[in-house]
Amino acid sequence: MKRVLFVIFLILTLILAAYSFNRYWVHRFDALIARQAAIYRVDPDLVWSVIYEETYFSPWKTGKDGEIGLMQVTPTVGREWATETGMRELERQMASDPQSLLKDPERNIQIGCWYLEKIYGQFQDSPEPEMRMIAAYNAGPSRAVEWSKTPEPGGVQSGAEFINRIDIPSTKAYVLSIMQRYREVKSSRSSSAAVQQTEPVK
C-alpha cells in the first residue's frame, strides 16, 4: 500500500513540476513582449501567440528559409529595421552578423513588433486586421494584400472570407492556429478580469 501511495505521489509531483516548468517556459519573455509591444503599439497577446507558433519560445531556432530567433525574423527584415533606425552601428551589425543580433530575445522581439506595426498600417481599416497581419507576417505583405481584395472596389471583406482566399495551405493553417490561440488568451484574460471584479473587497 505504501508503495502504491509513493508511486501516486511521485506521479503527481512530476505532473506538477512539468506544469510549472511549462508555465515558466511560455511566460518567461512576457516582460520583454509587453515592453516592445507597447513601444510599437501592437497587442502583446498577438505577439505572444506568434512566438508560441513560430518557435515555442526557443530563441536559438532558425528556419529553413533563414529566419532567426523567437519571432523567426529574416535578415532582410532586420536590415530594413536597422536602416529605419538610422543607427549605423546596428546597420553594420545586421550586415556583418545578423545571427548574433537576431538571436538576442529582446532585439528579436523588438524587430518582430516593428514589422507587425508596419504591416498593421496596411490593414488597420479592414475587419479583423489581426488575421491579415499574421498572414502577411508568414507569407509576405503583397500576398496578404492580394487575398484582401474584394470583387467590388471598396467592398468589405470579412475575416472568414479572407481566410478562404488564402491559397497557401501552410499559411492558412498558420493563421488559423495563431488566431485560435490568440482568442483563447483574450478569453482567459476576460474571464480572469470578470472573476476579480466579482470578488468581495476585503
Q: Are 48 and 39 in contact (CB under 8 A)?
A: no
Per-residue pLDDT of the chain (202 residues; tens, 9 = 90+): 777 776 777 787 778 777 787 888 899 999 999 999 999 999 999 999 999 999 999 999 999 999 999 999 999 999 999 999 888 888 999 999 999 999 999 999 999 999 999 999 999 999 999 999 999 999 999 999 999 998 887 788 999 999 999 999 999 999 999 999 999 999 987 776 666 666 665 5
Do residues 146 and 168 touch, judged by C-beta distance below 8 A? no
- Residue given cell 552601428 in the structure block: 89
User: What is the radius of gyration, based on Cα positions, of the chain?
Assistant: 20
Residue 144, C-beta contacts closer than 8 angstroms, at least 6 positions apart:
119, 122, 123, 132, 133, 135, 136
Q: What is the pLDDT of residues 14-53, one digit of tens each?
A: 787 777 878 888 999 999 999 999 999 999 999 999 999 9
3-state secondary structure 88-148: HHHHHHHHHCHHHHHCCHHHHHHHHHHHHHHHHHHHCCCCCHHHHHHHHHHHCHHHHHHHC
- Count of positions (residues) in the chain: 202
Nearest to 111 by CA among 73, 159, 56: 73
Confidence (pTM): 0.88
The whole-angstrom separation of Cα 111 and Cα 114 is 5
